[in-house]
A and B are shown apart, each in its own frame.
Chain A
Amino acid sequence: AQKVTQAQTEISVVEKEDVTLDCVYETRDTTYYLFWYKQPPSGELVFLIRRNSFDEQNEISGRYSWNFQKSTSSFNFTITASQVVDSAVYFCALSDGTGGFKTIFGAGTRLFVKA
Chain B
Amino acid sequence: EAGVTQSPTHLIKTRGQQATLRCSPISGHTSVYWYQQALGLGLQFLLWYDEGEERNRGNFPPRFSGRQFPNYSSELNVNALELEDSALYLCASSFQGYTEAFFGQGTRLTVV
Contacts and interface: CB of A to CB of B under 8 A. Distances in A.
B42 A101 contact: no
Nearest to A102: B56
Q: Is the interface of B mostly helix, strand, loop or mixed?
A: strand
Given A45-B92, A107-B42, A100 B103 contact: no
A44 interface: yes
Contacts, number: 62
Contacts of A47: 100-103
A72 B42 CA distance: 24
Contacts of B42: 105-108
A91 B42 CA distance: 10
Chain A, interface residues (CB within 8 Å), range? 20 to 34
Interface of A: 33, 35, 37, 42-47, 50, 91, 93, 95, 97, 99-108
Interface of B: 31, 33, 42-43, 45, 48, 50, 55-56, 88, 90, 92, 94, 97-106, 108
